[in-house]
């Protein structure tokens, strides 16, 4: 682990578990002091169900997170395709979190001209490929009204150029509901057993001259 996580992360992860153990014991002791047996039995049952839901949610979520970190990432898997097909930074237009720019965010730097055609950067006018990452285009699609112009660029790429590679990865979903979150974690684990990669989905389009 990095020093930041060793210093702050580990205590933050462990402390809630310890406090939860103390809290569960205290609640059970309070319930056992109730004088009416019927209420006591009902309270124990409800508390048991609640504790089970939380416990299952935490267990499945923890296993899901660990397997996510251990599984092969979509960016790494797509690197092999790029190497095999000579797709490089020099002959491609690419955005951040893709196999050609793994370390961080980067804009695609494409736009639409007044006639509705794609306009490439000056130094990429002879590019042969466009490499997209879901961690970049997903941000724009999440706010379609705010980023209508950028979404139009992505839609034009999909419409105009053939898709030669797509690496669909496990879609991580989360919910504030413990029950729903458990189903999400279980579904994510199932997808990983089916052989799906984790991380970001990668799409590569080949630029064809019209």
Q: How confident is the model over 133-149, as pLDDT tens digits?
A: 999 999 999 999 999 99
- Cα–Cα distance for residue pair 87/118, rounded to 1 Å: 20
pLDDT above 70: residue 91: yes
29, 179, 184 from 176: Cα distances, Å: 28, 9, 11
User: Residues for the chain: how many in total?
Assistant: 210
pLDDT of residue 5: 61
- Nearest CA among 201, 193, 182 for reference residue 70: 193
3 state DSSP class of 171: coil
More confident residue, 73 or 129: 129
Residue 197: strand pairing partners:
169
Q: Looking at the predicted structure, is the pLDDT value of residue 23 above 70?
A: yes
The beta strands (E) that lie in 126-184 are given as: 129-133, 163-167
What is the distance between the alpha carbons of residues 68 and 83, in angstroms, rounded to a whole number?
25
Q: What is the pLDDT of residue 3?
A: 63
Strand ranges in 76-191 using DSSP code E only, listed in sequence order: 92-94, 111-112, 118-119, 129-133, 163-167
Mean confidence (pLDDT) of the chain: 85
Q: Is 108 exposed, middle or buried, given 0-12, 13-18 or 19+ CB atoms closer than 10 A?
A: buried
Q: What are phi and psi of 64, to 5 degrees?
A: -60, -45
């Amino acid at each position: 682990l990095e020093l930041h996580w060793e210093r702050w992360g580990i205590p933050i992860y462990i402390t809630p578990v310890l406090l939860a153990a103390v809290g569960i014991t205290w609640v059970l002791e309070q319930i056992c002091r109730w004088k009416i047996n019927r209420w006591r039995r009902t309270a124990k049952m409800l508390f048991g169900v609640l504790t089970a839901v939380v416990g299952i949610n935490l267990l499945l979520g923890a296993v899901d997170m660990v397997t996510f970190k251990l599984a092969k990432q979509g960016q790494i898997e797509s690197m092999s395709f790029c190497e095999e097909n000579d797709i490089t930074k020099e002959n491609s237009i690419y955005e951040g979190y893709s196999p050609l720019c793994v370390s961080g965010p980067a804009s695609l730097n494409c736009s639409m001209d007044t006639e509705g055609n794609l306009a490439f950067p000056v130094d990429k006018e002879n590019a042969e490929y466009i490499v997209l990452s879901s961690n970049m285009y997903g941000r724009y699609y999440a706010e379609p009204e705010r980023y209508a112009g950028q979404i139009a660029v992505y839609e034009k790429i999909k419409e105009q150029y053939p898709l030669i590679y797509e690496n669909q990865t496990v879609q991580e979903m989360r919910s504030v509901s413990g029950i729903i979150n458990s189903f999400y974690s279980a579904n994510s684990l199932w997808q990983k057993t089916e052989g799906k990669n984790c991380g970001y989905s990668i799409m590569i389009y080949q630029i064809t001259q019209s």
